[in-house]
Each structure stands twice: as structure tokens, then as C-alpha cells.
A and B are shown apart, each in its own frame.
Chain A
């Protein structure tokens, strides 16, 4: 994130009004937009007091929120890595699956809440930049999948603990699923970064043609 970040250091109210005017002007040529409602919502959100507050303090607020978000990402990735390594039998092999997940599960869940909170703040602070992108929505879809997989896993492990410990954890399909889960979270990180570079998606990006 380079020029993108750089350009944000200007005054924000001005930035906001400029953005608004820019979008009104662009609206005519954007009939092919997949979701003009989203853009309108983003524009409305950018005029609300919390958004204006973050915009007015963007020089420290945005990097601070993003840094906390990255710390949260690290805690999620560490937890997901170790749970998945345990399923693969490459780490924590002297502990039961249950012991490993009760060590990392709560950290995973807690970090996901932290990511949700900082993520919401980022959307409030820069609504158009976040919401009017292809990367953001694809990322949200994958987050839903990743969170669902984690929740289902924790639930079935609680209900069928013996079966998991004795047979399921040794199954090839489960090990493949562990690798897939890890890759989903890695893709979520990539898509998060691509929000700043949404033009790489070409016309799939709702901001294409501006």
C-alpha cells in the first residue's frame, strides 16, 4: 500500500466532499455497477460522525487500527497453524486433539472478534475505499467460510470427541481439510491486502472505469 496510503494524509472533510462530488459525477457512467446501493451506503456512512472522526484523525487512526488488525491476523494465523499442524500430526503430537484445541480455540475466537471490531472501524473510517471493492466482498465470503469451518469443527469435536481422537484425525480427508482451511485463511489475507489494489480485478472491480 503505497500511493494509496500516501494520498490519504490530506484534510479529510475536504477529501470526503471531494469524494462525494466525484461519485455523483461518476454515477452516470456506472449503470453497470453491481451494487450502487453499496456505494450509496458507503457514501452515507462516510458522512456519519464516527466516520468523520476517524477521517479527521486518519494520520494516526488508520495506521493504528490497521496495526491492531494485523496483530489479530497474526494471532488467528498462529492458532489456525497449530491446530492444523496437530491434525496433520506435525506438532503438539504428544497432546490430544482436544487439549490442543482448548489451548488455541479461545485465542482463535477472541482474535476473530478483535478482527471484526478493527475491521468495522476500518470500514467506518474509509467506507468507499473498503466497501466499493471486489476484494472486500470476496474476502467477507471467505471469512464466513473460514469462521463456519472453525465453528463446526469445534462443535463436532465436542460432541464426538472419542471418534475424532481415535479415527477422524487420522483420516486423509480430514488432513486435506486442515490444509485447505489454512489456505482459506491465507487467501483471506491476500484479499485483505488487495482491497488497496482492487484495480487488479479489472471490470470485476466496482470502481473500474473511474
Chain B
């Protein structure tokens, strides 16, 4: 089974179909994705700025990292989950999108970056734990980390500008909207379909 047939199967699963055909699910997934990535980048920045000696310089690095990074992982789980759910709605389209591919490569690079940190500077943390900044390599890794994550944000945003949402989607049921969820009386004005905005 090649990758494309797997992706094709993915976007035909009932989960993918449900997300595609719902008016609310995709926007809400996107929103949760932004909340997650904001927390991922926000907390990673705290750690990277500590390594660079820019902020929290008086604090033990280990203590700061322990306090912060567990929330990074919680947020990353949210971001990965919502990202995957968005991906399956149109898997073959995203797979061919250059920005999507660049983003995946960048995420792999950031994983390698973390691994390099753990295998080098991370091993000698006892020696510089209280120092205002990490050794030179640690500072370089922190700077690379910040650059990679900004690039992840940019490529992520570009995916939205370069893909057409849900080419397989059913037309949006025009009479479904927020008011129906609240049980409010219909206004008589049909909202525009997703294609018009």
C-alpha cells in the first residue's frame, strides 16, 4: 500500500467526512490548534530565553525547565491532535502542499535540535544550571530553536493560504449555524456558504 492510497483512505474515513461536512468543526479545530501552538511557542520561548541569558537568568535552569516543559508537552499534544484532524480532512492535498512539507521537515529539525541539546549541553547541566546563560552550544541551540518555531508558524499560516479547503466536502448546509445550536428562531436570512468568505 503506497502513501497516497493510505492518505486517500484517511480522507474517506467517517471521521474525516464528519469534520469536512460540519460548519463548526474545522474552524474550532483551527482555533484549538492556534491555542495549542501559542502555548507551545510561548513556553519554549521561556526556556530558550533562559538558555540565551535574556530572561529568568537568576533561576536554576533545571527548575525552570521542569516547571515549563511539562506544559509544553500538554500543549503539543493538543496541537498535534488538532493538526492531525485537520490533515485527514484533505490529506492528499496537504501531502502535496510545499508549505506543509516544509513544516514537517522543520518539526523534524526541531526534534533533532532537542536531541542534540540532550546529548551535549544537557549532559553537563549541573555545571551551568545556576549560570545566567548556557554554554555557547546551548545558546546556539536555543537560537536555532526560536528560528525553527517562527518558521513553523510562518509555514503553518502559509498552508492556509495555499490550499483550498476540503475539495471533497459536501456543500455546507446553509440553514445550519450558531443560532440553530442555541435553539434560536431562524432569522430567515441564509448565511453564505463557506466558499463565499
- Interface, chain A (partner B; CB < 8 A): 1-6, 8-9, 62-64, 66-67, 70-71, 73-79, 81-82, 85, 91-92, 94-95, 103, 107, 186, 189-190, 192-194, 196-205, 207-210
- Interface size for chain B: under 10, 10 to 19, 20 to 34, or 35 or more residues? 35 or more
Asked whether B191 is an interface residue with its Cβ less than 8 Å from the other chain, the reply is yes
Expressed in whole angstroms, the Cα–Cα distance for A56 and B75 within the complex equals: 37
Which A residues touch B45, using CB under 8 A? 74-75, 78
Indicate whether A210 sits within 8 Å of B55 (C-beta atoms), given known contacts A2-B165, A74-B42, A200-B178: no
Which B residues touch A201, using CB under 8 A? 177-179, 191
Closest A residue, CB atoms, query B59: A95
Q: Would you call the interface of chain B mostly helix, strand, loop, or mixed?
A: helix
Interchain CB contact (< 8 A) of A207 among B35, B42, B192, B194: B192
**B189 near A203: Cβ-Cβ < 8 Å:** yes
Closest B residue, CB atoms, query A74: B41
Which A residues touch B164, using CB under 8 A? 2-3, 6
Indicate whether A194 sits within 8 Å of B161 (C-beta atoms), given known contacts A75-B45, A77-B35: no
Q: How far is the CB of B48 from chain A (nearest CB, A)?
A: 11
Which A residues touch B158, using CB under 8 A? 63
Expressed in whole angstroms, the Cα–Cα distance for A24 and B189 within the complex equals: 19
Q: How far is the CB of A41 from chain B (nearest CB, A)?
A: 20
**B150 near A193: Cβ-Cβ < 8 Å:** no
Interchain CB contact (< 8 A) of A78 among B42, B150, B180, B190: B42
Asked whether B28 is an interface residue with its Cβ less than 8 Å from the other chain, the reply is yes
Which chain B residues numbered 172 to 189 have a C-beta less than 8 Å away from chain A? 177-180, 184, 186-189
**A193 near B187: Cβ-Cβ < 8 Å:** no
Which A residues touch B194, using CB under 8 A? 3, 197, 199
